[in-house]
A and B are shown apart, each in its own frame.
Chain A
């Protein structure tokens, strides 16, 4: 049985030009496709990844336009359809004034005080 991995994403909106999404969300999709047992915890500014309806379109320099802008909320939502549990730290959501109705479906909220218990459920915890 594959090791259980919890991948914590904290650094948000970096390198989104590379894969035209978040590179760790992308990596999580790839690992899941390879057979990994991996879940995701969004914390800090990365909780904003779970806000639905984000629009990063319109980037252009000179006459070169980005035609496939990042759709990170959709990429995160797709994880939940692949049996990847996506947790959000509820205080980090609240601290940023994000309402629950603004979030994509299928998330699991976890409190800061509940993190250690959550970590104990995994063989490895990665922090990006």
Chain B
């Protein structure tokens, strides 16, 4: 039976493996038909930042196309697409105050700005909540 899961994320992109773990869990939940809510708090609002850009990697000897490095925004866009494809739901809310303090308003399409009230609503409608905090 499909469930609704809420994830509260805090880490910015790249700094540690927790963000990757979170995306793995979200991917798995969506593939299994569960609905997923995400409340991106603090540095996590930069995960879907639209101005992330790939770059060539001289150490690898590859140009930007060959390097083909997905930025976190690409992974999140893919998760949104996955949810649409299999009829599940990914509702990703960016903490508005966190966005403002970081100048991170330019996010990819398909997300929305919100507040702790959205987290509360998520929690109430979810079967469970997983906090993946910054350490």
Contact with B along A1-44 (1 / 0, CB 8 A): 01101000001001100110001100100110111100000000
Which segment, of A47-55, A88-96, A99-107, A120-128, faces chain B? A120-128
Contact with A along B101-134 (1 / 0, CB 8 A): 1000000000000011101100110001101011
In the bound complex, CA of A34 to CA of B41 (Å)? 17
In the bound complex, CA of A128 to CA of B11 (Å)? 12
Q: Among B41, B124, B131, point to the contact of A23 (Cβ < 8 A).
A: B41
Between A and B, how many residue pairs show CB distances below 8 Å?
45
Say which size band chain A's interface belongs to.
Answer: 20 to 34
Contact with A along B46-61 (1 / 0, CB 8 A): 0000000000000000
User: How far apart are A121's CB and chain B's nearest CB, in angstroms?
Assistant: 17
Measured CB to CB, the residues of B under 8 A from A are: 8, 41-42, 97-98, 101, 115-117, 119-120, 123-124, 128-129, 131, 133-135
Measured CB to CB, the residues of A under 8 A from B are: 2-3, 5, 11, 14-15, 18-19, 23-24, 27, 30-31, 33-36, 124, 126-128
